[in-house]
Structure 1
Amino acid sequence: MRFTVEHPVGRPGCVPALYSPAGPAAFARAAEEAGFDAVAFTEHPAPSAKWYRAGGHATLDPLAALAFCAAATERIRLLTYLLVLPYYNPLALAKTVATVDLLSAGRLVLGAGGGYLRSEFTAVGAGFAERGELFDEALGVLRSVWATEEFSFAGRGFTAHGQVSTPAPVQRPCPPVWIGGNGRVARRRVARAGQGWAPLLIGEELAATTRTTPLETVAELAAAIRELAGLAEAQGRDPAGIDVQVQSAQSDLSEQGAPAAGHDGHLAELAVAGVTWFVVRTPATSLEAATDALARYGADVISRHRTDPPTEGRKR
């Protein structure tokens, strides 16, 4: 098992110190020192006030925040969790992705999702009904644009006539793509073109809110991972080369930085199911509380459960 920590900017009561200039750098350094393998930021560029008041959360721009963290660290991977590909012109996104990967010496992991907030799609000028097609199109561009000296493509809302995107990222043909979503469509996308799957262990209510499929038990997750393996093999791919990262109710640490009861058993059960990465979320009441939680989790949990030590600039 390897471990991702999501920056707590979106957690209730998050203090400004965690997203002031010193905060993200100190958080990322503490995560690296504690033995975490990746630091993550999520995205919502223009959510509605209705969503925010109903329990939504604040965000930073994930690629900008990860670039900031890259300058403060040396080893830890940098994960967008999740970047909504349909929001972007794929060529403009390719430039930012390549820049972050270059400046981090090949540490970017592109966690990607299709999005679920209809009002946010409208606000950024993206077609909600087309989000699946837009996702696939953007992923195809990202996997192709650096493979040729002149890129040509007629897309939805843009046309490339011999464009260039240089310099290319360190990780070729593209930084690893981990695709979010609990359903079979997401697993089929992973089997075709992804290097990782990032489901959530959630019930029906939250699944309905995020427009995905419920995955309520580890047994259900294990069955889905077995299905993913079969889909990958049908594509001529080795399932062992595909990571599975999970977030569950056990991801949230207490205000004192402790995991919930039964945490060790939960991690062991996930590992048997085929999970390779686990997401952790720290307290947000102070920068000290967050960094103390990272150190405690590293000493008490990561040191005993990691099966694959962190590597520099790991590439798939």
Structure 2
Amino acid sequence: MRFTAEHPVGQRDCDPELLRGEGMAAFARAAEAAGFDAVAFTEHPAPSRKWLGNGGHASLDPLAALAFCAAATTRIRLLTYLLVLPYRNPLLMAKAVATVDRLSGGRLTIGAGSGYLRSEFGALGVDFEERGALLDEALDVLRGLWAGEAFELAGRHFTARGQESVPGPVQLPHPPVWLGGNGRNSRRRVARAGQGWAPLLMGEESARTARTTALTTPKELAVAVGELRQMLRDAGRAPDEVDIQVHSPHTDLSVRGEVSADEHRRHLDELTEAGATWFVVRTSGRSVAEACEVLAAYGRDVIARAR
């Protein structure tokens, strides 16, 4: 099992110091020192006030934040969790991806999804009903843009006639792409074009809000992982070449007091048995010092023992 530390920008109690350069650098360095394998940022570039008032959360631009973290660290990977690919012209998105990957020495992982906030699509001028097709199109751009030839594609809203994107990323043919979403369409996309799957263990109500399928237990996850592995075999790919990163109710360490360390480790064992290879951790954001202390403790109590 490997571990991702998600920055607490989305927590309602997030200390403004964690959103400034010194605090963010301290968080990223603490995650690296504690043994975490990746640091992550989500995105919501244009959320509505209604959504924010009903449990939504703030965010930074994930690629910009990860570029900053790249300069503050040396080893830890940089994960967009999740980048909504339909929001952008895919060639502009690819340029930003290549830039962060190059400046970080090849440490970027693209966690990507189709998005689910209809009002945010409207604010950005993107057709909500096209989101699946736009996601597939963006994946095609990532697969073809740095293949060594001038890029040609008649897209839904763009036309590439011999375009080149130089300099390209360090990781070729492109940085790893992990696709979010619990449903079969997400797993089909992984089998076709992904290097990872990023499901969330959640109940029916949360799944409806996120416009995805409920996955509530490690046993249900195991069934979905088995289906993904068969899809990979059918596509001529090795089932073990794809990472599976899980976000679960145990992700939020701000409520760790309700769950013992032994219970948490047993949960990780169940996820591992179900096929998970990565786990997401989210700290409280009440202060920079507290967030860094929680990361260090998790490194000692969980990560070190897992290895």
2:292 partner amino acid? T
Matches within 5 A, 1:60-75: 60-75=60-75
> What is the CA-CA distance between 1:296 and the residue it aligns to?
0.2
Q: Deviations over 1:158-213 (max 9, x none)?
A: 11111110001011111000000000000011011100000000000000000000
**SS where residue 46 of structure 1 aligns?**
coil
1:281 equivalenced with 2:277 (yes/no): no
- Match of 1:39? 39
Alignment partners' CA distance in 2, 1:190 and 1:144: 16
Deviation at 1:258, TM superposition (A): 5.8
Kept in 2: contact 1:258–1:297 (CA 8 A): no
> Residue 314 of structure 1 aligns with which residue?
none
> Which range is displaced more, 18-27 or 33-42?
18-27
Residue 285 of structure 2 corresponds to residue 248 of structure 1: no
Q: Which runs of 5+ in 2 are unaligned?
A: none
Q: Which residue number corresponds to residue 202 of structure 1?
A: 202
Q: Matches of 1:258 and 1:225 in 2, distance apart?
A: 30
**Residue 260 of structure 1: aligned partner:** 259
Give 1:141 shift.
Answer: 0.4
For residues 124 and 146 of structure 1, what CA distance do their matches in structure 2 show?
A: 27
Q: Distance in 1 between matches of 2:82 and 2:258?
A: 24
Mark the CA change 1:92 to 1:259 in structure 2 (over 3 Å): closer, same or farther.
farther
For each residue in 1:25-47, what CA deviation from the matched residue of structure 2 results, as whole angstroms up to 9, or x when unmatched? Answer: 11000000000000000000001
Moved more, 35-44 or 13-22: 13-22
Match of 1:82 in 2: 82
Contact 1:253 1:260 in 2 (8 A): no
SS of residue paired to 2:254: coil
Query: What is the aligned length?
Result: 305
**How far off its partner does 1:149 sit?**
3.5
Structure 1 residue matching 2:57: 3-state secondary structure: coil
Could you report, residue by residue, the CA deviation over 1:107-129 in whole angstroms, capped at 9, with x for unpaired residues?
00000000000010111111110
| Distance in 2 (alpha carbons) for counterparts of 1:86 and 1:275 | 27
Matched, 1:219 2:219: yes
Structure 1 moving runs of 4+ over 2 Å = 257-261
- Distance (Å, rounded) in 2 between the aligned partners of 1:59 and 1:26: 18
Return 5+ residue gaps in structure 1 as ranges. Answer: 307-316
Q: Deviations over 1:29-88 (max 9, x none)?
A: 000000000000000000111101111100000000000000000000000000000001
Q: 2:153 is matched with which residue?
A: 153
SS at match of 2:111: strand
Q: Which amino acid aligns with 2:7?
A: H
Using the TM superposition, name which of 60-69 and 145-154 deviates more.
145-154
1:245 partner SS: strand
Residues 78 and 109, structure 1, Cα contact 8 Å, conserved in 2 = yes
TM-score by length of 1: 0.95
Q: Which amino acid aligns with 1:260?
A: V
Q: Cα deviation per residue 1:259-279 (whole Å; 9 max; x = unaligned)?
A: 822101000111111100000
Q: In the alignment, is residue 52 of structure 1 matched against residue 52 of structure 2?
A: yes
For 2:61, give the aligned amino acid: D
Which AA in structure 1 matches 2:60?
A: L
Q: Deviations over 1:3-22 (max 9, x none)?
A: 00100000121010111111
State the TM-score, normalized to the length of structure 2: 0.98
Which residue number in structure 2 is paired with residue 310 of structure 1? Answer: none
